[in-house]
Copies of this chain bind each other. A is one copy, B any other.
Amino acid sequence: MNSAELIKQIEQKRSFLCVGLDTDISLIPSRFKTEKDPIFAFNKAVIDATLPYTVAYKPNIAFYEALGPAGWESLQKTMEYMPKDVFSIADAKRGDIGNTATKYAQTFFEPARAGFDFDSVTVAPYMGEDSVTPFLQFENKWVILLALTSNPGSNDFQQMKDENGIPFYENVMRKSMEWGNTDQLMFVIGATRTDYIAKVREIAPDNFFLVPGVGAQGGSLSDVAKFGMNSRVGLLVNSSRGIIYAGDDTSLSAAREAKKVQEEMNQLLDQYYK
């Protein structure tokens, strides 16, 4: 999916919500457990319920990988079921040297390989340019690079300042912006502190940000929109547990929670986007 199509989806649905499919067999309602593929059945129910309110889905690959080959099959079925006009994110946080990075890119971008046709993959920057650029060789596919994450450990290294007082995450952003353009490179930006949102928007005025950590994990959606929205929206805000595990009746509760977020996003789009 290219940026024009993504922005069109946001404008049509009046939403920049991404639903995280962190599907955990121990957390899904019991009625799914009698299905042949409980993980897929649950994901299907979540997709059906939330599709009118969301523009993106983000399966966290760890949850599928932990189930072995069967988990990968559940993920394949989920991605086959997913409509082509929503933006899909393989939250894999991969990062390895050139030829291996190519393998990871093929895994998620080339259907003939592992059966996936994701629009984007999250990538970790530690190993530098040749660990990122192989993902940028695919047309209309995106790298979503870890920049400033929202977990406690983000303070350990990401905030570390270089000799010029520039934090590490800023160096990651500035350097990677030389490798890919704003139609193929997004950043993961945690929403835990409002002042950071304004700062990273200054660093990368035109890139999309994938923002986790709104809602249950802290961070205010209106602040993210106020300080983070740009002339092409430039935001995808993720919610996982707050939507998919909102209640035992997944179809009703996931729709209700997604709709609630979408309604707030609709107002924020009115306020900050044309």
A residues in contact (CB < 8 Å) with B? 22, 60, 62-63, 65-73, 76, 93-98, 100-101, 103-104, 106-107, 113-115, 124-132, 146, 149-158, 160-163, 165, 168, 171-172, 175
C-alpha spacing A115/B67, complex, angstroms: 8
CB pair A104 B65 closer than 8 Å: yes
- A101 to chain B: which residues have CB within 8 Å? 62
User: Which residue of B72, B132, B161 is within 8 Å of A69 (Cβ)?
Assistant: B72
- A131 to chain B: which residues have CB within 8 Å? 151, 153
User: Which residue of B72, B103, B163 is within 8 Å of A161 (Cβ)?
Assistant: B163
Copies of this protein, total: 2
User: Which residue of B69, B113, B156 is within 8 Å of A66 (Cβ)?
Assistant: B113
- A151 to chain B: which residues have CB within 8 Å? 97-98, 127-128, 130-131
C-alpha spacing A168/B161, complex, angstroms: 10
Could you list 8 A-B pairs, sorted by A, with CB under 8 Å? A67-B114, A93-B124, A97-B149, A97-B153, A124-B124, A125-B157, A128-B156, A131-B151
CB pair B171 A157 closer than 8 Å: yes
CB pair B104 A66 closer than 8 Å: yes
CB pair A128 B155 closer than 8 Å: yes
- A153 to chain B: which residues have CB within 8 Å? 97, 127-132
- A146 to chain B: which residues have CB within 8 Å? 126-127
CB pair B152 A129 closer than 8 Å: yes
CB pair A68 B113 closer than 8 Å: yes
A145 CB to closest chain B CB (Å) equals 10
By beta carbon, the residue of chain B nearest A172 is: B157
- A67 to chain B: which residues have CB within 8 Å? 113-114
C-alpha spacing A175/B155, complex, angstroms: 12
User: Which residue of B107, B124, B125, B162 is within 8 Å of A162 (Cβ)?
Assistant: B162
By beta carbon, the residue of chain B nearest A113 is: B66
CB pair B149 A127 closer than 8 Å: yes
A104 CB to closest chain B CB (Å) equals 5
CB pair B162 A62 closer than 8 Å: no
- A106 to chain B: which residues have CB within 8 Å? 66
C-alpha spacing A100/B93, complex, angstroms: 11
User: Which residue of B69, B104, B128 is within 8 Å of A154 (Cβ)?
Assistant: B128
C-alpha spacing A172/B113, complex, angstroms: 35
